[in-house]
Structure 1
Amino acid sequence: MEIIKCQDAVDLGVKSAEKSAQIINEAINEKGSARIVLSTGKSQLETLNHMISQPIQWEKVEMFHLDEYINLPENHPASFRKYLKERFTSKLPLKKAHFIDSEGNVGEMIKQLNEEISKESIDLGIIGIGENCHIAFNDPPADFQTKEPFIIVNLDQACKEQQVGEGWFSSIDVVPPQAITMSVHQILQCRCIVSPVPFLVKAEAIKNVLESEKITNQIPATILRSHPNCTLYLDQDSGSLIKEKVL
């Protein structure tokens, strides 16, 4: 894992967007198209904001959506497909965008997503890290064994608290108990991973991920350390608790 320390969230967004554009353009140059996975949340805002202005042939890019709450209407402020449509796909002429529509037949939706994502390799995954060290909605103890691309998971208390803390829900009681998420195994299939993680609220999680003696499903994001091409972007706040020897 390569670690890039940035000045602040904006600087982090610029650098992670530029790295993402480089990966996408390399894939387009090599094979004529690119497939990417996008995550959401406050940590990703600057990265996505700067990505849309990158010199990329977006009509050659196919996008997959990382996770979504089950039975949450798209018009809800916390809907991840709403988030991506407003901030990303509506601004670009993408080749195709695959969203997780969790309001209908969930089993059929997962089947379709699994078929689509398995057709070709994924060139880039932009993967955040949660306050409880989850990646996507793979909360601890995360399932490191399943090979299914998309799965149903139960959200833990810390995950729900993060969603409320970021302002997506008014209270823990109204956070959906389950979500559809890309599995840990599928995330690791991305040829390259860019992980933008700003803000002080992520400092303890980053410390745990980087200083853990072992890769463990109790700290799900430690699995990113095993990926052959993963770049972690931190700002001064999120990296504030890390020992210098780790960096």
Structure 2
Amino acid sequence: MQIHIYQDADTIGKQAAADAAAWVNACIQEKGRARIVLSTGASQFPFFEHFVQQPIDWAAVEMFHLDEYIGLSDSHVASFRKYLKERFTSRVPLGKAHFVDGDSGDVALSLSRLEQLIAEAPLDLGLIGIGENAHIAFNDPPADFSARTAYRVVDLDDDCKAQQVREGWFRDLDDVPKQAISMTVRGIMSCSKIISVVPHEVKANAIKRTLESDLTNLIPATMLKTHANWSLYLDHASASLLPIRLATATKTV
């Protein structure tokens, strides 16, 4: 894995966006297209601001959506479809966009459609954040590392729901949906390259646990360390609990 540590959230967003663009452009040059998976959340705001400005042939890019709440309208402020439409798909001339629809009334049909689309070709890039409880997508601890599908229905734990409330997406815990459709750990790990942009002090403990722990489904993000091409972008705040020897430089581990 490669760990990149910069001063602040905007800087890591800019650097990660350039890294992502370089990989996407290389895929387009080699294969004529690139298939990417995008996460959302408040921590990803700077990344998207810089990513939409990258010199990419967006018409050759096919986007998959990482996760979405079940039963939440895409007009709700917390909807990840709404998030991506406002911050990404409305700002670039994207070739294709495949959203996770958790509000269709037929979750099984939504899952079947996503599975068929994912199976068409390999995924080239995954933008995968890490939650305060160290989840990846909505795979809360204890995460299911054995699920064989690309997407599945998951139950959200209280720590995950509390994070959504603190970030201002919902009024209180009772307002947060209890379930979501999420890309599985297996689906995430199938991406040829994974980039994780994880700023802010509230993520410091999750980063410390992820980097210092052995592989365990109680800390789902530890799975990312087994990926052959994982780049982790931290700011000084999210890296604040790491040993000084690690937190003072960008390095490959």
When normalised by structure 2's length, the TM-score is 0.96
CA contact (8 A) 1:210 1:246 kept: no
SS across alignment from 2:211: helix
Aligned to 1:157: 158
Identity of aligned residues (%): 54
Structure 1 residue aligned with 2:251: none
Q: Please state how far the C-alpha of 1:127 moved relative to its aligned partner.
A: 0.3
CA offsets, 1:107-163, max 9 Å, x none?
Answer: 000000011011100110000000000000000000000110000000001000000
**Alignment of 1:235 onto 2:251:** no
Does structure 2 conserve the Cα–Cα contact (< 8 Å) formed by 1:194 and 1:230? Answer: yes
Cα distance between partner residues in 2 of 1:118 and 1:150: 12
Matches within 5 A, 1:114-129: 114-129=115-130
Secondary structure of the corresponding residue to residue 21 of structure 1: helix
Q: Which residue of 1 aligns with 2:225?
A: 225
**1:25 and 1:79 mapped to 2: Cα distance?**
29
Partner in structure 1 of residue 25 of structure 2: 25
- The residue type equivalent to 2:97 in the other structure is A
1:37·1:63 contact (CA, 8 Å) conserved in 2? yes
The aligned residue for residue 185 of structure 2 is 184
Give 1:245 shift.
4.2
Match of 1:130 in 2: 131
Query: SS of 1:97's equivalent?
Result: strand
Contiguous gaps of at least 5 residues in structure 1: none
Q: How far apart are the structure 2 equivalents of 1:103 and 1:229?
A: 34
What's the offset of the Cα at 1:80?
Answer: 0.1
Q: Distance in 2 between matches of 1:49 and 1:236?
A: 20
* Superposition map of 1:61-72 within 5 A: 61-72=61-72
Deviating above 4 A after TM superposition, structure 1's stretches of 4 or more consecutive aligned residues are: none
- Counterpart CA distance in 1 for 2:80 and 2:198 is 18
Which TM-score applies when normalising by structure 1? 0.98
Partner of 1:53, secondary structure, is coil
Partner of 1:110: 111
* Separation of aligned partners in 2, 1:197 and 1:34: 23
The alignment partner of 1:91 has SS state of: coil
Aligned equivalents of 1:149, 1:54: Cα separation in 2: 28
Matches within 5 A, 1:204-223: 204-212=205-213, 214-223=214-223
Q: Provide, for residues 12-40 of structure 1, a one-character-per-residue CA deviation record: whole Å limited to 9, x for no partner.
A: 11000000001100000001100000000
For these two proteins, the number of residue pairs brought into alignment is 246
- SS at 1:113's partner residue? helix
Q: Distance in 2 between matches of 1:244 and 1:152?
A: 40
Classify the secondary structure of the residue corresponding to 2:90: helix
Identify the residue that residue 99 of structure 2 maps to in structure 1: 99
Counterpart residue type for residue 133 of structure 1 = A
Partner of 1:6: 6
SS in 1 for 2:36: strand
> How far apart, CA to CA, are the structure 1 residues paired with 2:171 and 2:97?
29
- Mapped to 2, the partners of 1:129 and 1:106 lie a distance apart of 25
- Aligned residue for 1:62, secondary structure, equals strand
**2:94 partner amino acid:** L
Name the residue aligned to 1:51.
Answer: 51
Rounded Cα–Cα distance in structure 1 between residues aligned with 2:81 and 2:6: 28
Name stretches of at least 5 consecutive residues in structure 2 with no aligned partner.
248-253
- Counterparts of 1:220 and 1:180, CA distance in 2: 17
Aligned twin of 2:175:
174
The answer to whether the 8 Å contact 1:211/1:246 transfers is: no
Aligned residue for 2:197? Answer: 196
Rounded to whole Å, the distance in 2 between the matches of 1:101 and 1:144 is 23
Instruction: Give the SS at the match of 1:139.
Output: coil
Whether the 8 Å CA contact 1:125–1:187 is kept in 2: the answer is yes
3-state SS of the aligned residue for 1:72?
Answer: coil
